[in-house]
Amino acid sequence: MGTDTSQKVRFNIIDTPGHIDFTSEVKRSMRVLDGAVVVFDGVAGVEPQSETNWRYAEEAEVPRLCYINKLDRTGASFEKSYASILDRLSNKAVRMQIPIGLEDKFEGVIDLLSMKSYHFEGEMGTNVVAGDVPENLKAEAEKYRHELVERIVENDDALMHEYLEGKEISTDVLKKTLRKAVIENKIFPVFTGSSLKNKGVQLVLDAVVDYLPSPLDLPPAKGTNPETGEDESREASDNAPFAALVFKLQVDPFVGALSFFRMYSGTIKAGDFVYNATTRKKERLGRIVRLQADKREDLKEVYAGEIAAAVGLKEIKIGQTLCDEDHPIALESIVFPEPVISMRIEPKTKVDQEKMGVALSRLSDEDPTFRVASDPETMETIVSGMGELHLEIIVDRMRREFGVEASTGKPQVAYRETINGTADVEYKHIKQTGGRGQYGHVKIRVKPLEPVEEGKKIKNNVEREDHFEFINSIKGGVIPQEYIQPVKKGVKEAMERGIQAGFPVVDVSVELYDGSYHDVDSSEIAFKLAAINAMQSAMKQAKPVILEPIMKLEVVTPEKFMGDVTGSINSKRGQIEAMGERGQARVITAKVPLSELFGFTTQLRSLTEGRAVPNLEFSHYAIVPGNVAQTIIEARK
C-alpha cells in the first residue's frame, strides 16, 4: 500500500531477473505491462544490464519511473546515481525527491512537488510521517523544485505562460500535467529510498498510481484478423470483444500447467470456451487463478486490463492470442532473441532418458530462448540458450523439478554459414529407369541478401523470410507454377547444411530465372532435387564463409587490473571499443567472439582477485578469419 489508504487500486507487478541470460523475461514483461519501475543501485548507479533493459523499454515505448534504491549502503550517492541516469540513459529524467541524509544517516525523503519531508517509522517503516522540510535542506529543495516545475510546465503551453508570468501553479495541476508527460514518455520521474528498510517504497507505489498509465490511458491493442489479414484493434473495455495475450507458461507442482495471460479487452468467466487465433482451435477455460508470489486465488471472472493465469490449457504457446470466436484477432506477438550457445546433453540412465524428453519439452515451452534439437548425424540432443548460466540453470531445474540426472558436453557455438560472392548455376536432374523417368531443370542465381530499406515495398515475385529471399523470375511458364514451391523447398533444404562445415546457411538471396520441364517425366520431387543440387554447387562457387556470434562484453574492474584485463581480451581476438570510468572503477567495452569466451568468467576472477564483473550480451554475427575457419572445418569432419 502507498501512503493514501483511502483509495484502493489494484496493480499487477512483475518482478524480472536482472541477469542478461534471462533477458526474455524482461522482453515479455515489457510487451504485456503498461509501465515500468526501473530500479538502480544507489552505489553503482546505472549498470550495463540496466542499459539493456532500458533499451527494451524504449523499443516497447513503455512509460517509466526510476527508483534509486539502497541509499543506506556505504558509498551510496543519490546525486552520482542520478547523474549516471542522465548521462547513460536519458536526459528526460528529473528528480522528484531528494534524500535526507545518506548511508547510515539516511532517514527519509523530501517530496519536491508538495515540499514535505517524509520519515518512515515503526516496525519496517510502516508509519509514514509527513513533516516540514528540514531547515538545512530548504535552499537545495527550493532550487530543485524550480527545476522540476519548469520541466513539467514545458509540456503545456498555457501553463508555461502562467508560470512565466509568475503565477503559482497548484500541485494538482502540476500532477495532472506530469502524468500526461510521463505517459507520453516525455519525462521519467526519479524517486529514491531503501527497500530493505522499507523507506521510500510507499511513495513509489503512490507514484505508480499517480503517474504510470492505467489500461485506459493507452491506445487500443493492435492486431490482425486471422481470417482476412486486415488490421484490427481492441479498446481496453469490458464491453469490447474478448482478447488476451498469453505471455508465460509455467508448470506448477500443485495445479499443473499455468498459462499467464494479459486481458486487453472484454471479460471471460471460468468455464467459458476460448478460441486460439493461431491454432484456430477452441479450448475450455476450466479454472482461472490470480497469483501473488506463491499464493493462488480462484477467480470467477476476469476483466479488461487484468493479468491472470488459466489452469490446464493443453495446446497453447507463448505469444498466442485467446479471443472470442465470433470476433477473432491475433494480437502482436512477442519477439524473443535467438539463442547463441548450445551444448550436448545426455541422460545418465535409461529411466532418465524417458523423463528427459518430457522435461526438455516442458522447459522449452516455458522459455522461448531455450531450444532443443537433435543432431541428425550424431543423434545427440543439443540444447541452446542465451549463455552458460542460462543452460546451467536449465540442467539444475531438470534435476530439481523433474528428477532427471543428465550430463552435459562442452558448450558449442551456434556458427552459421553464408556467401560473400555471387554465382549462376544450371542443374538438370534426369533419371531414366524403365517406365516414368524424372526430369527437373533449373537455373538459379545466388547473391548475398541485402536488407530492405525502410518504406521500400517488396516486389510481388519476391518471397522474403528471416535471413532468406526467394525471387521467382520465371516468364512464360518455362517452369509450371506447381513446380516453383518445390524449387523453393529444395533451396531451403540445401541451406539447412552449409557446404563448408554443415552449419545452417543464412542471408542468401536466390533467384530462379530459367529452366525447362518435361510433360511426362517432370514431378515435384524432380524439381526439388534439381534445386538442392543447384544450390549446393552455387554455394561452393559464391565464396562461402563461416559466421560466428560476436558478443558485446563489458568488464567493470578496479583500475589496477586494467592492463591484465585488456591483455586477456586482446588474446581472445577481442576488439576493445571504449574505456571509461564508473565511480572508482574502470569500464572496458569490447566485442569478442563467443567461441573464445568459454571459461572467461573464471579466468577474469583469478586475474582480478574476484573483483571484476563481466557482462555479456549477443551483438551480431561476423565472418570468421580464415585460419579459425580452417580449424572449425577440421573439427567438424
- Nearest one of 211, 144, 213, 217 to 178, comparing CA atoms: 211
DSSP strands (E only) in 432-566: 438-448, 462-465, 468-472, 508-516, 544-557
Give the span between the Cα atoms of 371 and 363, in whole angstroms: 9
Q: Which residues pair with 292 in a beta bridge?
A: 295
| 16 annotated as belonging to a binding site for a ligand | yes
Evaluate the CA torsion angle 601, 603, 607, 610 in order and state its sign. Answer: positive
Place of cell 544517516: 105
User: Do residues 590 and 626 touch, judged by C-beta distance below 8 A?
Assistant: no
| 53 annotated as belonging to a binding site for a ligand | no
| 570 annotated as belonging to a binding site for a ligand | no
| 217 annotated as belonging to a binding site for a ligand | no
| 212 annotated as belonging to a binding site for a ligand | no
| 71 annotated as belonging to a binding site for a ligand | yes
The three three-digit cell numbers of residue 356, written as one number: 528427459
Give the span between the Cα atoms of 388 and 598, in whole angstroms: 8
What's the DSSP call for residue 334?
Answer: -
| 17 annotated as belonging to a binding site for a ligand | yes
Residues ≥6 apart with Cβ < 8 Å to 340: 384, 386, 387, 413, 414, 549, 551, 594, 618
Give the span between the Cα atoms of 271 and 487, in whole angstroms: 48
Amino acid at position 421, single letter: G
The three three-digit cell numbers of residue 623, written as one number: 565472418
| 192 annotated as belonging to a binding site for a ligand | no
- Nearest one of 421, 416, 417 to 538, comparing CA atoms: 421
| Element at 301 (helix H, strand E) | strand 301-302
- Nearest one of 249, 244, 328, 247 to 281, comparing CA atoms: 328
| 518 annotated as belonging to a binding site for a ligand | no
Burial 525-548 (b: 16+ CB within 10 A, else e): ebbbbbbbbbbbbbbeebebbbbb
The three three-digit cell numbers of residue 242, written as one number: 474478448
The dihedral over CA atoms of 26, 30, 35, 40, expressed in degrees to the nearest 10, equals 20
Q: Which residue ranges are tagged as binding site? A: 15-19, 69-72
Give the residue ranges of the annotated binding site for GTP.
15-19, 69-72
